[in-house]
Amino acid sequence: MAFTAGRGVDVVYDAVGRETIARSIRSVRRRGLCVNYGGASGLVQSIEPLELGEAGSIFFTRPHLADYTASAEEIAWRTGDLFDACAKGELTVVIDREYPLAEAAAAHARLESRGTRGKLLLSVTR
């Protein structure tokens, strides 16, 4: 809230889950949106409707990918938008590190330690 002078953010995307969801809800502006799409700290078991109301009539959703990719046409449309945005430079991917496939365990340990900032890649050489 300090970053937005008390207004709150328009949308918060929460991939952590149980440990952060209450703070995520409280960081959203009035009638904003909270999207929970992961559970790194554990799955969110429930959200009290009154909590959403008291936080400013927040909208809450937990999307499933299958609901957004129900047909080949929808997949083509969504991937087309994604690749167009990448081609225009509107989206960028941050690569934290690249590991050889033989070091996959080290890459996984880095993910588990929450020491990443961006994607980890495993490289395969022939």
> Is residue 69 within 8 Å of residue 93, measured between CB atoms?
no
Whole-number pLDDT of residue 91: 87
Q: How many domains does the chain divide into?
A: 2
Domain identity same for 11 and 27: yes
| Whether 33 and 71 share a structural domain | no
Cα–Cα dist 123/59, whole Å: 40
How many Å separate Cα 32 from the centre of its chain? 16
- Give the CA-trace dihedral at 16, 18, 23, 28, to 10 degrees: 70
What confidence tens digit (pLDDT) does each residue in 80-123 have?
999 999 899 998 888 999 999 999 999 988 888 877 888 899 99
pLDDT recorded at residue 118: 85
Same domain? For 45 and 76 the reply is no
Q: Are residues 91 and 57 in the same domain?
A: no
Query: Is residue 25 located within the same domain as residue 42?
Result: yes
User: How buried is 105 (Cβ within 10 angstroms: 0-12 exposed, 13-18 middle, 19+ buried)?
Assistant: exposed
The confidence score (pLDDT) of residue 116 equals 83
- Confidence (pLDDT) at 74: 94
The pLDDT tens digits of the residues spanning 41-90 come to 999 999 999 999 999 999 999 999 999 899 999 999 999 999 999 899 99
Asked whether residue 6 falls in the same domain as residue 57, the answer is yes
Quick check: pTM over 0.95? no
Structural domain containing residue 52: 2-61
Domain CATH code at residue 14: 3.40.50.720
